[in-house]
């Protein structure tokens, strides 16, 4: 994997360094201080890492990940090498996957194994899931048998499923235990329990979840109270093969803090805490945003050629749709030659239709992802958006018609653009809501192809209605 860098356990020393830095430099600013980025860059260039090491080590892992991403590849690796064992393994989970790939290439498999052994299972999986199969196998071989079993189990579930993102370390107790039994158990088994947890799950002898009790409720009750008497039994169990987008919807819908994940036999195999769902929501939002813009994935940190290849196919599709719109214009070349004003005004009709359709499309895609737009209310929403398009079309038809009349001193031309504007905005409103609905019913993510289809519709209808009416009424 190239030149190697060491990462070893050292949480105590890291915390001590952070505390010392806080005492010397005061409170850290919220997020990453851009002045620190410049100072780190200058220090690395000058070979004076000692002047900024305290500030760097004191950063929250998320901010340190941002710092690494802000540096050039050479400076990034220089900083990793300088940090050595002081680099908190959690930084690896916070890095962009492209940046993380570059960092992992410089780490020895044994050090990667040591780093991910300090992480929660879901974070460990995220760190190594994009590694080559041979490299990942080498890392897994150097984990302890128990850690390796947990990670390998995670890889048995599909990508972007509840089983892949869940935490496998769960605090479970029989429901016939008392509060005192539970507290004593947590104290005596502290080393085997998850580092952070907020809920305790009660299970039956077959490990089926029967209820959950928050730590706050447990601690407020007397030691002789039976756990069964303070359980929440209305559990939202999540099958392990559930898509992570469905998981995010479940948490938002019911305001969950955590939820149990069960296998096909209903046995508890893990939990998903809300902190991990926040990451899922961000990931799904980013994915939809990228797809609406015609980008398959976040390529901000990728090399030029890789980014070019990723965007080429989508631009090729756009070229095809543009040629289709140009073909429509070509049918009316004679009319355009006679009335040059048609060429001047026709982009207005297409542009207004495209913008109006994009407004509707954005609302529709968001509503579908949030489960607010469904077959039960689809007809009503389609009617509403068509009516909105008609009203806006009528208003802007008057404005555009009067402007064209005044500009070219031709009332007929004003009437043509007014009629075309009304038609195109009506179609834009209708298409903006129906295109994502149809794609969704076909099992296609509406964020992927809706924009291109909608743009094609509004361009073709806009040019066809404006030039067609112009050829029919002005000659």
DSSP states of 283-297:
HHHHHHHHHHTT-SS
Q: What local confidence, expressed as pLDDT, does residue 296 receive?
A: 60
Put residue 373 in one of left, alpha, beta given phi > 0 → left and psi -120 to 50 → alpha: beta
Q: Is the pLDDT of residue 24 over 60?
A: no
Q: Is the pLDDT of residue 295 over 80?
A: no
Q: Is the pLDDT of residue 372 over 90?
A: no
Domain boundaries, the chain: 11-156, 172-272, 304-473
Pairwise CA distance, residues 246 & 233, whole Å:
21
- Provide the pLDDT confidence category of residue 391 given band limits of 50, 70 and 90: very high
DSSP states of 222-241:
-TTSBGGGG-B-----EETT
Rg (CA), the chain: 30
Q: What local confidence, expressed as pLDDT, does residue 405 receive?
A: 93
Pairwise CA distance, residues 436 & 97, whole Å:
30
Q: Is the pLDDT of residue 65 over 60?
A: yes
Q: How far apart are the first and last CA of the chain?
A: 73
Q: What is the mean pLDDT of residues 22-27?
A: 45
Q: What is the DSSP letter of 178?
A: B
Q: Is the pLDDT of residue 2 over 80?
A: no
**Domain 11-156 class in CATH:** mainly alpha
- Beta strands, E only, 81-198: 172-174
Strands 258-262 and 268-273: antiparallel
Task: Tell me what the pLDDT averaged over the chain comes to.
Answer: 85
Tens-digit pLDDT profile for residues 26-63: 444 467 888 888 888 888 888 888 888 888 888 999 89
Pairwise CA distance, residues 46 & 41, whole Å:
9
Closest residue by Cα to residue 267 from 158, 338, 172? 172
> Is residue 337 classed as helix, strand or coil in its secondary structure?
helix
Q: What local confidence, expressed as pLDDT, does residue 21 receive?
A: 43
**Structural contact between residues 32 and 60, judged by C-beta atoms closer than 8 angstroms:** no
Q: Is the pLDDT of residue 463 over 80?
A: yes
Q: What is the token pair recorded at 98?
A: 């492209």
Tens-digit pLDDT profile for residues 392-429: 999 999 999 999 999 989 999 999 999 999 999 999 99
Q: What is the mean pLDDT of residues 460-474?
A: 89
Give the count of alpha carbons within 13 A of 209, CB side only. 28
Cα angle 399, 469, 331 (rounded to 5 degrees) comes to 125
**Structural contact between residues 10 and 40, judged by C-beta atoms closer than 8 angstroms:** no
CATH code of domain 304-473: 1.10.357.20
Pairwise CA distance, residues 114 & 8, whole Å:
6
Closest residue by Cα to residue 94 from 86, 103, 85? 103
DSSP states of 143-172:
S-HHHHHHHHHHHTSPTTBHHHHSB----E
Using CA atoms, how far residue 280 sits from 244, 275, 412, 435, 447, in Å, is: 7, 9, 55, 26, 17
> Is residue 412 classed as helix, strand or coil in its secondary structure?
helix
Instruction: Of 83-87, 157-161, 211-215, give the lowest mean pLDDT range.
Output: 83-87
Pairwise CA distance, residues 287 & 251, whole Å:
19
- Residue 400 CB partners (closer than 8 Å, separation 6+): 348, 349, 352, 414, 417, 418, 421
Q: What local confidence, expressed as pLDDT, does residue 225 receive?
A: 96
Name the residue with higher pLDDT: 297 or 314: 314
Closest residue by Cα to residue 424 from 467, 462, 384? 462
Q: Is the pLDDT of residue 20 over 80?
A: no
Closest residue by Cα to residue 352 from 464, 452, 467, 458? 458
Chain center to CA of 87? 26
Q: What b/e string do you get for 141-165 counting C-beta neighbours within 10 Å, with b at 16 or more?
A: ebbeeebbebbebbeebeebbbbbb
Q: What is the mean pLDDT of residues 20-24?
A: 44
Fold of 172-272: CBS-domain (3.10.580)
Q: What is the token pair recorded at 415?
A: 């009437």
């Amino acid at each position: 994997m190239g030149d190697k860098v060491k990462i070893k356990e050292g949480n105590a020393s890291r915390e001590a360094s952070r505390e010392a830095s806080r005492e010397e430099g005061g409170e850290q600013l919220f997020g990453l201080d851009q002045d620190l980025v410049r100072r780190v860059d200058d220090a690395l260039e000058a070979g004076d890492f000692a002047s900024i090491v305290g500030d760097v080590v004191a950063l929250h892992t998320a901010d340190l990940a941002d710092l690494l991403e802000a540096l050039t590849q050479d400076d990034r690796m220089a900083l990793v090498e300088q940090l050595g064992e002081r680099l908190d393994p959690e930084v690896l989970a916070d890095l962009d996957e492209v940046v993380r790939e570059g960092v992992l290439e410089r780490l020895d498999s044994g050090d990667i194994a040591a780093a991910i052994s300090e992480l929660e299972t879901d974070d460990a999986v995220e760190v190594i899931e994009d590694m080559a199969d041979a490299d990942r196998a080498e890392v897994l071989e150097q984990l302890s048998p128990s850690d390796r079993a947990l990670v390998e189990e995670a890889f048995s579930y599909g990508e972007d499923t509840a089983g892949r993102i869940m935490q496998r370390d769960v605090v479970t107790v029989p429901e016939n235990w008392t509060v005192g039994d539970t507290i004593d158990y947590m104290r005596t088994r502290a080393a085997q329990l998850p580092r952070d947890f907020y809920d305790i799950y009660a299970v039956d002898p077959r490990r089926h979840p029967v209820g959950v009790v928050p730590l706050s409720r447990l601690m407020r009750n007397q030691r002789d109270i039976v756990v069964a008497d303070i359980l929440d039994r209305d559990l939202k169990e999540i099958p392990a093969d559930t898509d992570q987008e469905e998981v995010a919807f479940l948490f938002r819908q019911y305001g969950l803090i955590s939820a149990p994940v069960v296998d096909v036999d209903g046995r508890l195999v893990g939990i998903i805490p809300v902190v991990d769902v926040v990451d899922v929501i961000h990931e799904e939002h980013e994915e939809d945003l990228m797809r609406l813009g015609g980008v398959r994935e976040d390529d901000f940190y990728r090399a030029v050629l890789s980014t070019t290849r990723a965007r080429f196919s989508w631009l090729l599709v756009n070229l095809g749709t543009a040629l289709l719109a140009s073909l429509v214009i070509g049918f009316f070349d004679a009319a355009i030659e006679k009335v040059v004003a048609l060429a001047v005004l026709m982009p207005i009709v297409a542009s207004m239709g495209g913008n109006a359709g994009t407004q509707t499309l954005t609302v529709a895609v968001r509503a579908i992802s949030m489960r607010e737009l469904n077959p039960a209310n689809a007809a009503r929403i389609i009617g509403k958006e068509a009516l909105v398009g008609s009203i806006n079309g009528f208003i802007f038809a008057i404005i555009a018609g009067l402007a064209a009349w005044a500009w070219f001193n031709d009332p007929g031309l004003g009437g043509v653009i007014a009629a075309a504007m009304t038609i195109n905005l009506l179609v834009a409103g209708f298409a903006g809501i129906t295109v994502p609905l149809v794609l969704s019913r076909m099992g296609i993510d509406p964020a992927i192809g809706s924009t291109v289809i909608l743009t094609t519709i509004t361009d073709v209808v806009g040019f066809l209605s404006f030039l067609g009416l112009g050829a029919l009424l002005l000659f």
